[in-house]
Amino acid sequence: MPSRAAEFRAEEMALISALEHERLTAPRTGELLAACEADPSLGADEAAAANLREARRDYDRATRIPTDLVAEMARTTSQAVEAWKEARRTSDFPAFRPWLERIVELSVRRARCLGAPPGGELYDALLDDYEPGVTAARIDGTFGPLREALAPLIAEIAGSPLRPGEPVRRVRVPIDRQVEFNRRVAERIGFDFSSGRLDVSTHPFTEGLAPGDTRITTRYAEDRFTEAVGSTIHETGHALYEQGLPKGALHGQPLAQAAGLGMHESQSRLWENHVGRSRAFWEWALPEATGLFGAAIDGIGVDDVHAAVNRVQPSLIRVEADEATYSLHVMLRFDLERAMVRGDLAVADVPAAWNDRIRADLGLEVPDDRHGCLQDIHWSSAAIGYFPTYTLGTLYAAQIWEAIVDALPDVEGRMARGDFAPVLHWLRENVHAHGRRYRAADLCARITGRPLGHDALFRHLNAKLRPLYRL
């Protein structure tokens, strides 16, 4: 967006958000909900009951927030995102600090309106926007053991003299060839191009615009063709969830929506980590790539690419992090934003706290805030409580993948032949078709047979990384 458009855009966002909020919280909506709840036939239909339960939840949450706070939040974040872009460009945290202070203040005000759950904390009310029903304490119970398991594995890898995938780093592939290859990959794993588009943006994203219109983006660099593929597969995973949600008469209702951002992220991570980073995937994909890239990837074998996409290398930027260290970036943000909401961490102290943590967790020095606390857009858009869903999604993905392998013993063989339909079909039936019918944690337990833990992810990382680093 052009810089001078920011101010008017902020007013537009405030107006639209307020209008939407007024419609959602209108007394008529409450009357309709009450009438449905009084109808005994609805209780007998499990799906309809779930739909009603979720609609009630959305209505109750919305009615706790005054419209002026909704408008102020929209206006402030619209401007803060622009301020963040400029502050990140110039690595100028002091310029962004008053915006972040204001956003924490508005978020706390919003959390107070929503109210903490019984025995919980204010931050839980914000978490609930992104991962309904989860609490910070429950996340502690999941993230703690994961952290303890990851630290020694990462340390062992850091001690290895091996640098897997080195030959792939010398490959250069023209962008237009990559564009064609990524399109083929997205299509092959199931993206429906008659119901969506694949374009280019600075930061890859997925947007479920409307029924029949799911947009994904990726980004390309000549010297990083595997990263573009990873991004494309990740966003395609999100898009497949969107394209697989119930349509038609249910549109706009909870059952046609995703079960939260954790489950959404599980769909992107499953395809990215368990399909796109598998040897089987590259057994199909590398010959396909060779046909398009020609001499550019001469001498590169499946082992080389598999090693390159699984290399572990602690780094400063979350979105470029490898599969093993990624969750440490997420935990840092979770702890810092929770402390800000609690009032235990002043915004002014965020850069120091961030840099200390990166040093402690990854052994790296943060050279400037661009590479530190200014790197992510989330806080500028008041998405506090969003980060934990990245790691929850990664954990769901690993656990769901084990269930898929159990159900489809030949899945690797099928993938190696370029046949991803069984995986998509399983996800369509077991995840996508349900929309918001089940809470993510319940859906996970239902389809994997056990509550969410870190063991599946850990088995996955060990099975892949120990051979790669000969540990």
Least separation in angstroms between residue 239's CB and a second copy is 11
User: By C-beta, is 118 or 252 nearer to a second copy?
Assistant: 252
Q: Does 196 bind a second copy (CB under 8 A)?
A: yes
With contact defined as beta carbons under 8 Å apart, do 270 and 232 qualify?
no
Q: Does 180 bind a second copy (CB under 8 A)?
A: no
User: By C-beta, is 85 or 197 nearer to a second copy?
Assistant: 197
Q: Does 221 bind a second copy (CB under 8 A)?
A: no
Q: Kindly give, in sequence order, each residue whose CB lies less than 8 Å from that of residue 406, ignoring residues fewer than 6 positions away.
A: none
- DSSP codes joined into one string, 159-173: T----TTGGGGG---
User: By C-beta, is 88 or 460 nearer to a second copy?
Assistant: 88
With contact defined as beta carbons under 8 Å apart, do 416 and 188 qualify?
no
Catalytic residue from among 72, 235, 265, 283: 235
Binding mask 236-265 for a second copy (x = CB under 8 A): ---------------x--------------
Looking at 27, 40, 41, 194, which residue binds a second copy (CB under 8 A)? 194
Q: Does 3 bind a second copy (CB under 8 A)?
A: yes
Q: Which two tokens stand for residue 150?
A: 């990851």
Pick the closest to residue 437 from 54, 58, 57 (CA basis).
54
Binders of a second copy: how many residues, by CB under 8 A? Answer: 23
**H/E element, 218:** strand 213-218
Looking at 91, 195, 313, 315, which residue binds a second copy (CB under 8 A)? 195
Taking each continuous run of H as one helix and of E as one strand, the counts in the chain are 20, 3
Least separation in angstroms between residue 217's CB and a second copy is 14
Least separation in angstroms between residue 86's CB and a second copy is 12
Least separation in angstroms between residue 192's CB and a second copy is 8
Residue-wise over 304-335: b if at least 16 C-beta within 10 A, else e? Answer: bbbbbbbbbebbbebeebbbbbbbbbbbbbbb
C-alpha distances in Å from residue 183, one per residue of 172, 179, 289, 396, 455: 18, 6, 11, 27, 34
Q: Which stretch binds a second copy (CB under 8 A): 7-15, 71-79, 283-291, 316-324?
A: 7-15
Q: Which residues bind a second copy (CB under 8 A)?
A: 1-9, 12, 192-197, 209-214, 251
